[in-house]
Amino acid sequence: MTPEERAAFAKRRRARNWAILFALFGLVVLFYFIAMARLTRG
Amino acid sequence: MSGTAAEGRGAQAPLTASSDISEVRDWVALLKPRVMSLVVYSGLAGLLVAPGSLHPVLAVTAILCIAVGAGAAGAINMWYDRDIDAVMRRTASRPIPAGRVQPDAALGFGILLAVASVLVLGLATNWVAAFVLAFTIFFYVVVYTMWLKRRTPQNIVIGGAAGAFPPVVGWAAVTGDVTLVPAILFLIIFAWTPPHFWALSLWAHGDYARAGVPMLPVVSGARETRRQVLLYSILLAPLGLLPWAVGFSGPAYAVAAALLGGVFVWRAWQVWREPQDEGGRSLARDAAAKRLFGFSILYLFALFGALTLDRLLLA
């Protein structure tokens, strides 16, 4: 692997990690709203 | 499974470097967004016409789950079909055959989204809806993609059931059950699928033949395909009137369904009567089949739109 390829690989992995973090955060927010909606309905 | 296609399995192009944006685009492409739009629309229609109400947050979540579940099934389908996708012109540029996404990663992505969509739908609404969604994904991936698609020219007829379930999921999300009306919505999409796909396959059969997929025009010829398109269209037109016949919708819907069904049969008749050689191959660049394919998409959007408007505004 050349230094350029290694840098590109690291960049892609960092982007994927951010995407997973956002997805998990989105899921937490979604579960929060689902819980609130279900509680509201009693 | 065809030799040509089977030999291609497992042999992928090496991964190529891509920018972050195009990588995101590839993962989105795995979810088959164009198919997803129709699934979301019919699922939303099922949810809106169902008796009862759902909290807006839960309704949005239900639609999100239907979309993600359909996308997950699409991603697993692309993983399994990567060998035939590579030899078909229409699909060769998909992320896996083009070497932009690793097959195993696509499979993991699909399974993760499938499990997540079913669990979230169950928690947000009810487990009947979650079960129907899970069965839909199973049907599309296992029954259609893995079992029927490469074995029988009836693949679309039976496999089309997978695309007919979304309004049932939407309905079940609100009511928690599956009754006559969602079964009718299922039947409409079920009968709509063969003429829709066979119209496409009339001019794309070269691709399917190369990949060894036994689509009807490849196995039985274009003439028989035209006949089947017409027969299913004649079956579909009265099915569109069933919601009115069982008293679920009013006369405004009935008029819209009758008009749309009539145009559908007329378009199918044009496909049947199009100038063709003795084998049924078009002498007019498949113009009639292309018109029917375009109209079939409009038909489903308009029919479900009319049903939704009839229920929400006129009932």
* d(C-alpha B217, C-alpha B195), whole Å: 12
- Length of chain B as a residue count: 315
Q: Express each pLDDT in B276-301 by its tens digit.
A: 888 888 888 889 999 999 999 999 99
**Is residue B65 less than 8 Å (CB to CB) from chain A?**
no
Query: DSSP state, B146?
Result: I
* Residue closest to B43 by CA, chosen among B29, A31, B54, B197: B54
Q: Average pLDDT, stretch B74-97?
A: 94
Ramachandran class of B176: left when φ > 0, alpha when ψ lies in -120 to 50, beta otherwise: left
pLDDT band at B3 (very low <50, low <70, confident <90, very high): very low
| Nearest residue in A to B55, CA atom | A37
Contacts of B55 in chain A (CB under 8 A): 37-38, 40-41
Q: What is the pLDDT of residues B191-232, one digit of tens each?
A: 999 999 999 989 888 888 888 889 898 899 899 999 999 999
Identify which of A5, A19, A34 has the shortest CB distance to residue B124: A34
pLDDT at A40: 84
| CB-based contact B171:B182 (threshold 8 Å) | yes
> Tell me, what's the pLDDT at B232?
97
Give yes or no for a contact between B91 and B85, defined as CB atoms under 8 angstroms apart. yes
CA B132 to chain centre: 16
Collect all residues of chain B within an 8 Å Cβ-Cβ radius of residue A5.
17
- Show the CA angle centred on residue B112, arms to residues B107 and B114, nearest 5°: 95
B17–A36 C-beta distance less than 8 A: no
Compute the Cα dihedral for B216, B219, B223, B224 and give only its sign. negative
Question: Is B282 strand, coil or helix?
Answer: strand
Contacts of B252 (CB under 8 A, 6+ apart): B306, B309, B310, B314
Residue B2 has pLDDT above 50, yes or no: no
Model confidence at B7, pLDDT cuts 50, 70, 90, reads: very low
pLDDT of residue A13: 84
Q: Which residues pair with B276 in a beta bridge?
A: B282
Going from the C-alpha of B42 to that of each of A28, A39, B188, B258, B298, the distances in angstroms are: 28, 28, 11, 19, 13
Q: How far is CA B9 from the centre of its chain?
A: 24
Which of A14-28, B35-49, B235-249, B250-264 is the least confident region? Answer: A14-28
User: What is the complex's ipTM, to 2 decimals?
Assistant: 0.77
More confident residue, B313 or B23: B313
Whole-number percent of chain B with pLDDT over 70: 93
Contact criterion met (CB < 8 Å) for A27 and B55: no
User: What's the gap in Å between the CA of B187 and the closest CA on chain A?
Assistant: 32
Place of tokens 């696509």: B106
Mean pLDDT (whole number) for B103-119? 96
pLDDT at B17: 47
Question: Residue A42: what pLDDT?
Answer: 53
Among A6-20, B160-174, B246-260, the range scoring the smallest mean pLDDT is A6-20
Residues of chain A with pLDDT under 70: 41-42
Mean pLDDT of B118-141: 97
Q: Please judge whether B116 and A8 are an interchain contact, meaning their C-beta atoms are less than 8 angstroms apart.
A: no
Supply the pLDDT for residue B19: 57
Chain A contact for B57 (CB, 8 A cutoff):
yes
Helix axes B56-80, B166-175, angle to 10 degrees: 150
Cross-strand bridge partners of residue B282:
B276
Where is A9: in which H helix or E strand? helix A3-41
**Amino acid at residue number B12:** Q
Cα–Cα dist B245/B132, whole Å: 26
Residue B82: its pLDDT value, please?
96
CA distance B115 to B302: 32
Is B115 an 8 Å CB contact of chain A? no
What is the dihedral sign for C-alpha B307, B31, B157, B136?
negative
What's the confidence (pLDDT) of residue B275? Answer: 87
Alpha helices in chain B (DSSP H): 3-8, 20-29, 33-49, 56-80, 82-87, 103-124, 127-138, 155-159, 161-164, 166-175, 180-211, 216-239, 242-245, 251-273, 287-309
Closest CA to B222 of B271, B281, B278, B272: B281
| pLDDT confidence of residue B20 | 61
Interval B27-65: pLDDT, tens: 999 999 988 888 999 999 999 999 998 999 999 999 999
Q: Which residue of A has its CA nearest to B124?
A: A34
Taking 50 as the threshold, does the pLDDT of residue B95 lie above it? yes
Kindly tell me if the per-residue pLDDT of B303 is higher than 90: yes
Class of residue B234 by CB neighbours under 10 A (exposed 0-12, middle 13-18, buried 19+)? middle
* A36 to B57: CB separation less than 8 angstroms, yes or no: yes
> What's the predicted TM-score (pTM) here?
0.88
Best of A9, A14, A16 to disrupt the B interface (most B CBs within 10 Å) is A16
Q: Do A19 and B24 touch (CB under 8 A)?
A: yes
Structure tokens given for B199: 């119209």
